[in-house]
Amino acid sequence: MKKILFITGHRKSGTTMFANLFDDHKDTLVYPSDLCIMYAYFPHFINNEYTFKFKLDRLIHILNKDLNAIIKANKLKDKLNLQKLINVFKSKINKNNINDIEKILHILLNSFELSLKEKKKFKYLVVKETSLDIYFTRIFKKNKNIKFLHLIRDPRDNYASLKSGAKKYYSKFGENEKKLLASMINRAKLDFNFIKINQNIYNKSNYKVIKYEDLTTNSKLVMKKICKFLKINFSKELLYPSILGNPTKGNNFDGENFFQISKKNVGNWKSRISYEEARIIEFYFKREMRENNYKSSKEIKKDKYLYLSSFYEWLNKEYFFHDSFAK
């Protein structure tokens, strides 16, 4: 089995940029998109409730829709034969593996490798998906051929990045700013907590944590440390994101094009989110921030935690409240 490097972390913590840094290195081959099957198929469709045909059609639909968009957006038609990828993938999926996400994943990655118009020798096949760390123990047994890089970010900057896409992107899926905040409190806390769980299972020698702030402010040093972790040689290509060799501007919601690592939004949460939002995040992430050296802002005594009761009022009404006295 080929060696696999998984990159994970909460959404908008920099995982896309991080994965794309490995794209042009001679020892790494990067799958050009998120592992969408890890949320659009797994775990909901891994059961006997659906027919084999339904599940196979679902998988093919996910891959077609996602990869077509990636190919079009990044001009990859001359580099990736999508139809061949689909055909190979479809030929290897059967009733014995349709409910095994690890086998499906390996089939997908093998199909991707075979569909490249220019073949590449490599040591690691790099794949990324946000919050996949929560499922690692359900998918993989301890395996010497798998390594993990877990990217973390100051949760206030993380939310600021999410908030910047609220109107343009997330609103299409029914997520407003408060829902994005509630989601982050739930999922990002799990991401932080699963670091120790996964390191205990897979060992720190296979599971490395990287801070977004370190990656963006001291890129060369951090990437050299990662090379040591992976036992590959450092090269300057690791400082510039690309997709199958084509430079990429990233997925910034502010309309700015970052063709190289940028530290612009490190600590920039003060101008991007409200004081109340910052205090809510600091309340819920108090331990995680302390353990990772993210300093809390100074509390204004007059607020008396009113921001928390207001947030709870909305949260309870939105998700939990039931009027048991309704006539």
Model pLDDT for residues 242-262, shown as the tens digit of each residue: 999 999 876 665 555 566 788
pLDDT reading at 143 higher than 80: no
- What is the residue-averaged pLDDT of the chain? 92
pTM of the model: 0.93
What residue numbers bound the domain in which 56 lies? Answer: 3-163+195-265
pLDDT reading at 4 higher than 60: yes
- Note whether residue 168 is domain-resident: no
Residue 158 CA to its chain's centroid (Å): 12
- Note whether residue 303 is domain-resident: no
pLDDT reading at 1 higher than 80: no
- Note whether residue 79 is domain-resident: yes
Residue 204's pLDDT band (cuts 50, 70, 90): very high
- Note whether residue 304 is domain-resident: no
Number of independent structural domains in the chain: 1
* 29: CATH: 3.40.50
Identify the pLDDT of residue 229.
97
Q: Give the model confidence (pLDDT) of 280-311 as tens digits.
A: 999 999 999 999 999 988 765 566 678 889 99
- Note whether residue 186 is domain-resident: no
Identify the pLDDT of residue 306.
82
Residue 127's pLDDT band (cuts 50, 70, 90): very high
Residue 298 CA to its chain's centroid (Å): 31
pLDDT reading at 156 higher than 80: yes
Identify the pLDDT of residue 259.
63
Dihedral (Cα; 8, 9, 10, 11), 10-degree rounding: -50
- Note whether residue 11 is domain-resident: yes
Identify the pLDDT of residue 140.
86
- Note whether residue 327 is domain-resident: no
Q: How far apart are CA 208 and CA 131, in angstroms?
A: 15
The answer to whether the CB of 217 falls within 8 A of the CB of 266 is yes
Identify the pLDDT of residue 262.
83
